Structure 1
Amino acid sequence: MAFAASLAKLQAEASCPICLNFLSGPVTIACGHNFCPFCIHQRWEGLQDTFPCPVCLHHCPDRSLKRNTQLRYMTEIIKQIPTSESQREMQEEMPLCGKHHEVLTLFCEKSLELLCPQCMGSLDPQDQPLIPIEEAAASQRGMLKRYIGVLTKHLKNAVKVYRCQGANILAVKRKMSKWRNKLDYECNDLKYSLEIEYNEFDNDLLVEENNVEEKLIENGRQISYHMFRLSNRLSEIEEKCLQTDEDLLTGIESIHNSYENIESPAIFSYKLKKEIFTLPPHYLGLHKMICTFQADLTLDPETAHPDLLISISGKQASYWKPDCILNPQALTSYPAVLSSEGFDAGRHFWAVTIGVTGEFSLGVCKESFPINTLISPSPSNGCWTHTFGSFSILKEIGVFLDYELGEVSFYDLKTGSLLYRITATFTGKLMPYFSIVSSESLTISIIRV
């Protein structure tokens, strides 16, 4: 097959680029290309001063032609070589101009089209840059190779992005599965809480219903007895009215006394407690509660224990157990600090992260509660807190204060579950409270969720 292709190229070189037949008495022009004398004379007919080569467009200075005897002998020899069917097919497949039926030897870089030498006569070379096919193919091949390099790079990037997107899909599925589990957990917890709340409401309603029913029944008995007395008095007076004058006037005083002494029993009235059906806001969902009631807290360094280091931003308290006791106060209390902000009404939510390991307490206390003293925090002295056990990983705790309802609730923000709830009656201003119970080193940071 390679031999056939080489032979076809050899026969093409021995052919005239204009008539496509084997060269007849070949002549060479100034640029080195060969043509049949008749073909090149016909192509240059009518031209003056410059004579462009039909193949490379080189401008020949004159019509001078040189006979190429060696090429003529070679052409005669090539004519004698038998041409196989495949070689003839290859020769027939050489591209021809559809308009002039000549070999396409030129390429227009502007219109990106193949042209034959005759097409060149109708074009302005300045407006239509024409180059030989071989040169154009080399230029376009180089450009295509650059395209290949760029597209290969884009393909690699696309494959990387596609794989990344695949990983993102898995990540989204995992996250959605985690959120569904969290939703199920929170809904089950909410369902359990609502069942408890429902039972409490139902019991309260039942108690109130029984109390009201007993009072209404007793009041009904009193009214029934009053009706009986009224009926007797009415019958007695009607009978008296039918007696003779002497009999009517006899004992009339008792009739008047009994009439004047009739007293109607009090009518029992009641009013149901509509507020009994008001659910606390945390039953509406932790996320909504956080978005609605989140407070922006900062730690008050004036209230901080000497062994606590408060950050400049006021958002972090750090504790390291000292090797030696530098602060006598450290022996008398748990390191604690209050928030700069306090609340005397409304609903408020704040969150903290706990770093490293240790036990810690969170909650609220009255503004007057003396922290960092021998007085232990307890509801009896105005401090409502909950102590959390030792954790070996980062813990995120949310605290929700409902002042009017009298509740302080603690949530695990990673699972969305309720950890603990304190109920009380609050008066005065309450301050968010943060304390370290036991730890070698521990950090409490106020965060926004």
Structure 2
Amino acid sequence: MAFSGTLTSLQQESHCPLCFDYFKDPVTIECGHNFCCDCLSACWKDLTDRFPCPVCRFNLASPNFIRNSQLSSLTQAVQQLVLRRSKRKQEEAQQAVCEPHQRALTLFCEQDLELLCAHCSFAPEHRRHNVSLVEEAAPEHRRRLESSVEPLRSKLEQVEKMIALQDTKTLELHKEAVARRKEIEAEFERVRQFLQGEQEATLRRMDEEEAEILAELNQHLTTISNYASGQNFLLKEVEGKGAVSCDVALLSSLKSIEDKRQTLGRPEPSTTMLPSTIELSGFQLKLPAQFSGLERIVQLFQVNLLFDPTSAHPQLEVSADRKSVTYLEERRRVGYSPNRFYLCLALLSQQFFYCGRHYWQVEVGAKPKWTLGACQGALPRNWRNEPDLYRGFWALGRCNSSYLVFGTQKARIVPQVRPNKVGVFLDYELGEISFYNVDDGSVLYTFHDRFTRNVWPYFYAGRDSEPLRLCPVSKRGT
């Protein structure tokens, strides 16, 4: 082991640091490092004033070097030692013997890929195997190994391409995250500016209303104070005249007192009575529809849905443009379809989704009964649109005056504004289905689940003459 380590160290010292091969015509420069003469000349080619050492970067004033004959002899000796060692290992390998039988391993088992001696080849575990001479097996397996190099290299290249593609995707993800982060920051900045403006305007209106109420109160107070002062002066005069002992003087002063009383009069109730309650108007914050996120969803993810006539109940008639469906009193004669609803006045869209984000709008108008949503796969043919829990179904609907959500969850909701149009937003990867009131931009309800199959938009039309309509796709940016 010590000899092997020493020989390895000598091999390393006998290699040129530029070509990484054994020294050929070695030379030594001023800093003490050694190189092949041709390698060093090629490295210093086109240099005129400074000649740096390729290893330590020591700058030489001139391209002078000394030929190292001793290093050349040492390199040749190391090469001879390495060659002899390699030949010795080959001879030892060729002279390998079977340990149990101490015989030369001259045979090769093709099934077990093992070297065998003549005695081993007759053992029960190898008796039925294909055994050949080492001299015959080695060239064949060498060809097989050589022929497998290209497929392995091809696979390696494919893996490297996949790694490069993954790196590209990682970079794209980072860029997208940076862009989305900037968009979110800009959106929040717009919200902040809007809220700041709303705050300033609301506080300004409150200040103005407070000033108006305060001015009115001051006016009432001034009028009442003036009336009280007059009453006080009149009271003192009456008290003074009443104390006069002379009857004539008393009676002669009555007209003057009465005139003052009439002049003073009594102020109007509207100018002296304070309001029963003093309060500011009800100020509240109302965000515009664009801050609910609906406007951005419509612009980016809206899809042009069409009704599927082959799924419609026989009493539902789909329009020629497949954008409207109407209830019929009489049952139509229709062909069989595995997706058709026979017990429920419902139908599906032509499109289904297995990934991505998608948004569509439905005009429900004043229909007393309707249901909108999505289902995973086709619903059973005996489906009745009952407001109960059902796996793989997410819906929101109206039943007369009540609004319900049902499917994987069940709840009753109370919209602030009765929806005339309802938007449905599906995020397949996130596992969300959200329902929006298009009229005020509010979120009506959001389901959270996990999608594993195709998701179909679902529609229940009800038993009234008003049609259920798919809203046309709006233009981008409008």
TM bin (shorter chain): 0.3 to 0.5
- The structure with higher relative contact order (CA 8 Å, sep 6+) is 1
Larger radius of gyration: 1
Give the TM-score normalised by the residue count of structure 2. Answer: 0.35
